[in-house]
A = this chain, B = another copy of it.
Amino acid sequence: MYDTLLELPLLQGLGRTDLTAILEKVKFHFDKYAPGSPIVGQGDKCDKLIFILKGRIRSELIDQKKRYTLDEFINAPHVIEPYSLFGMTTNYTVSYYADTEVSSVTINKEYILTELSKYKIFQLNYLNIISNYAQSLQHKLLNAHLGDTREKIINFLQMRCLNQSGEKYLHIRMEDFAIMIDDTRINVSRALNNLQDRGLVTLSRGEIYIPDLEKLSKYKL
């Protein structure tokens, strides 16, 4: 367990003795989740850090206007939304579910502020992680581009996905997708079928499955 904790980006660089000292003062809540069970919900107050130690979780973004949901998958070790613990909007941006058997450990915000923040390496890791996240969002915003239907579909996914690679499920009605990317239903359907022929997406009723967003993103006509 120590080794897994020390692999977490937030705790990387801490020594085993540091971690022992932390474990003596800080309450760690250990949890296990069965496949499919919810961990935290989109919009829930974020007042703790949840470290995923084992297993795979599924994130689910529900559009504010309920026009689509977008699912992604994340493997342990992973910390859930360290950027939602501070700032003006301390709510989870998406929901998280156990996708396999999952073990996690949770630390409340108070301990982050009183104990963990005593460690320079932890402070620095935290600043690096959030800054990095902000930089990746900046990059997306500055590189967002329109173009033909295919490019708009890919851009739609890139803008909304936490992770620019891996498999995704997008649940959306073709009509809504067309409206959201300002194109016609026919064009969207044609572009998606074309991508399906190339094995880059799989279409079924109301659902678009992307086996690997990175591969899709790299595809040029």
Contact = CB atoms under 8 A, between A and B. Distances in A.
Nearest to A61: B142
A190 interface: no
Count the copies.
Answer: 2
Interface in A79-132: 83-89, 93, 113, 117, 120, 123-124, 126-132
Interface of A: 64, 83-89, 93, 113, 117, 120, 123-124, 126-135, 137-142, 144-147, 152, 159-160, 180-182
Given A83-B130, A134-B134, 14 more contacts: A83-B134, A83-B135, A84-B135, A86-B127, A87-B128, A87-B134, A89-B139, A113-B120, A117-B123, A130-B130, A134-B137, A146-B146, A146-B152, A152-B182
A135 B46 CA distance: 13
Contacts of A120: 113, 117
